[in-house]
A and B are shown apart, each in its own frame.
Chain A
Amino acid sequence: MSLLSVRDLSVKFAMRDNTVTALNQISFDLCKGERLGIVGESGAGKSITGFALMNLLSRPGYIDSGKIQFLGEDITEMSEAKMRSIRGNQMAMIFQDPMVTLNPVLTIGQQMVETLQAHRKLSKSEAEQIAIVKLREVYIPSPEERLNQYPHELSGGMRQRIIIAIALLLDPQLIIADEPTTALDVTIQADIMELLLELCESNKVGLILITHDLGVVSQMTERTLVMYAGRIIEAGRTREIINDPQHPYTQGLINALPQQTKPGQRLKQIPGNMPSLTAIPRGCPFSPRCEYAQDHCLTEAPKPVQYTHVEVACHEVNRLHSDKAEEMIG
């Protein structure tokens, strides 16, 4: 059964004299307990997608059109009170930087208890008992003592574990993790990801993992969306996208991984930069950087089409594929 169904979602930012389109008609689905990765460069619209799902876009951003069906109800039409009862409850979020996510003047206990009490009628001690159980689940040593500690007394990795525990407090259906390890030490990143994966699997929680790390996506998720300039340009099963990418941009991303290059060789990179949202080219947004671009790529925006096992938004995907086949034969 579908947990989340996003249809033609567009997010715009109202600037002083015009509007900027940050998300351009994106659509995707998520089943219960499924793990989905959203990858792309900075500014591709990954985080905005996450906040739009929470209906927490900060001004001047707003949802311009489209539907977000969560557990059968449309979030875009929900009242603020109804939405608030979902946030942190059925849909939880893990933020990027644990150093600034927790409130510095409130204890861990206060921040956990208030979350529980916002959604359930619980006494302070009942809520604390649940908090302790959840802290134990994320392998926080001596959780009883942590409740009285302030965030600054804990390390970054510890804080992110606590944030994961807070996300799990109310047994949500969906966790949106926005680059949950980017701000952490490399040695801790793997631990946190492993923990997140383990908890999502054992609790059957759906996960949307926003990241720019293809390696993480391949380990953590079952399906992947590749975003570019506010659009989904490729979507499909993670394994297939990683092993056999169809869109030239995805191919470029994967070829740029150090593992794809022999030692001593220069790393391959995609020429140019992602366009800024105020200057997205007409037609295919990737066309200025694309080696396969044809005339119609510059004028006509490609629609996502099913190609073999993935959905790709590229006019030239057929030609691309036959080229590759020729290469293999030749």
Chain B
Amino acid sequence: MFAYLVKRVFQAIAVMFVISLIGFAIQDNLGDPLRELVGQSVSEEVRQELRDELGLNDSFLTQYLRFAGNALQGDLGTSYFFKEPALDVILKKLPATLELVVGASIIIIGLSIPVGVFTAIYPNSILSRLVMGLSIIGISIPVFLTAILMIFVFSVEYGWFPSYGRGDVVHVFGYWDTNFASLDGWSHILLPSIALASIMLPLFIRLIRAEMMEVLQSEYVKYAKAKGIRPWRIYFVHALKNTLLPVITVGGVQIGTMVAYTILTETVFQWPGMGFMFLEAVNRVDTPLIVAYLIVVGFIFVVTNTIVDLIYGLVNPTVNLARMGA
């Protein structure tokens, strides 16, 4: 177990190294920091001096090592626009985004398992066919369109839910602002969460259905029937556990992807999270903030995948974590 953990951590470090290299290459090549810092009224001489001072004339390697060294100490540069450390800016926006991802995940997990299982057990029922049809539509409609449609219907036409922002957030643990502690918070997070879930949910329903149907054809399910086990136990104990193993792996990757999808959702709903901030940073050519965002998202991706792999190892008895380190 420990050896496996160490191995995974090393893999994670390798991935983070590549991400930092890409992030730095972007910073090195995208725009001119001087123009963002001083505008156009400063003479070329002063610019050169500033370049030397900022170390922009050093070799790529020196600059990268300096960047990586700073990054390891939690310094991902200073945002041109906010004039604050980029990491601080992002960390302030992080709770909003993570809560959105959590909200969407709850919707996805809560719906995809029962619906996926139902459509697998009764593939020919009208309800299953309806779900399958809708899921194709769900996958095909882009997130921003779903979001705009929902705002149009539920905010503009019916006025049931607010159309933008986080509403009344409650301050918890001294740092975190949460939507889940007040009714207003809940009403604000509902539509964005559904919008964010709208792409992944059909995907997971279809994935669970396909896996479950395959498992239901297996010998051990037939054998369980031959032992006289009740159907619900066959479905939810024998089949579901085997169904979810591959789904967990896919799910880990998808959580990371969902963080990326928040850019669209947050923009449509004016959700004050990382994704919205990223889009603004792109518009302002706030390179340090863009790079810091990439690195933080990369980090979240790597961490969730590592955790998911560990969970997979714990859930699946045929994976021996102790032996996998060797």
Contact = CB atoms under 8 A, between A and B. Distances in A.
Nearest to B215: A103
A54 B228 CA distance: 10
A119 B228 contact: yes
B317 A84 contact: no
A56 B220 contact: no
Contacts of A87: 225-228
Interface string A118-132: 110000000000000
Contacts of B241: 105-106
Contacts of B238: 103, 106
A87 B224 CA distance: 10
B245 A105 contact: yes
A104 interface: yes
Interface stretch (B42-50, B89-97, B229-237, B269-277): B229-237
Contacts of A62: none
B219 A92 contact: no
Given A84-B228, A86-B228, A114-B229, A105 B222 contact: no
B103 to A, nearest CB: 30
Contacts of B224: 103
A173 to B, nearest CB: 14
A30 interface: no
A150 B317 contact: yes
B219 A97 contact: yes
Interface in A150-176: 150, 152, 166
Given A101-B220, A105-B241, A106-B237, A56 B229 contact: no
A58 interface: yes
A104 B220 contact: yes
Nearest to B317: A150
Contact of A118 (B217, B219, B222, B228): B228
Contact of B227 (A100, A152, A166): A166
B316 interface: yes
B245 A88 contact: no
A138 interface: no
A98 to B, nearest CB: 10
Contacts of B245: 105
B218 interface: yes
Contacts of A86: 228
A92 B233 CA distance: 19
A54 B227 CA distance: 10
Interface string A83-99: 01111110011010100
Interface of B: 217-220, 222-230, 233, 237-238, 241-242, 245, 315-318
Contacts of B225: 56, 87
Given A95-B226, A100-B219, 6 more contacts: A86-B228, A103-B224, A103-B242, A104-B242, A105-B245, A150-B318
A115 interface: yes
Given A103-B238, A104-B317, A115 B229 contact: yes
A89 B227 CA distance: 7
B317 A95 contact: no
B229 A118 contact: yes
A205 interface: no
A145 B228 CA distance: 25
A102 interface: yes
A105 B238 CA distance: 8
B318 A104 contact: yes
Contacts of B226: 54, 56, 87-88, 92-93, 95
Contact of B317 (A88, A92, A152): A152
Interface of A: 54, 56, 58, 84-89, 92-93, 95, 97, 100-107, 114-115, 118-119, 150, 152, 166
Nearest to A115: B227
29 contacts: A56-B222, A56-B226, A84-B228, A84-B230, A85-B228, A87-B226, A88-B226, A95-B219, A95-B222, A97-B219, A100-B219, A101-B220, A102-B223, A103-B224, A104-B220, A104-B242, A104-B318, A105-B241, A105-B317, A105-B318, A106-B237, A106-B241, A107-B317, A114-B229, A114-B237, A118-B227, A150-B318, A152-B318, A166-B227
A100 B317 contact: no
B260 to A, nearest CB: 32
Nearest to B218: A100
B316 A105 contact: yes
A14 to B, nearest CB: 14
Contacts of A101: 219-220, 223
Identify the 5 closest CB pairs spanning chains A and B, nearest first: A88-B228, A88-B227, A87-B228, A150-B317, A103-B220
A191 to B, nearest CB: 22
A316 B158 CA distance: 85
A257 B216 CA distance: 39
Contacts of B222: 56, 58, 95
Which of B223, B227, B229, B315 has the most C-beta atoms of chain A within 10 angstroms of its own C-beta?
A: B227
Given A103-B238, A106-B238, A89 B219 contact: no
Nearest to B316: A105
A87 B229 CA distance: 9
Nearest to A96: B219
Given A114-B233, A152-B317, A102 B220 contact: yes
Contact of B230 (A102, A104, A118): A118
B232 to A, nearest CB: 12
A314 to B, nearest CB: 35
Nearest to A58: B222
Contacts of A107: 317
Which of A56, A86, A114, A152 has the most C-beta atoms of chain B within 10 angstroms of its own C-beta?
A: A114
Nearest to B315: A105
Contacts of B318: 104-105, 150, 152
A263 B316 CA distance: 52
A183 to B, nearest CB: 11
Contacts of A100: 218-220
A181 B220 CA distance: 17
Nearest to A169: B227
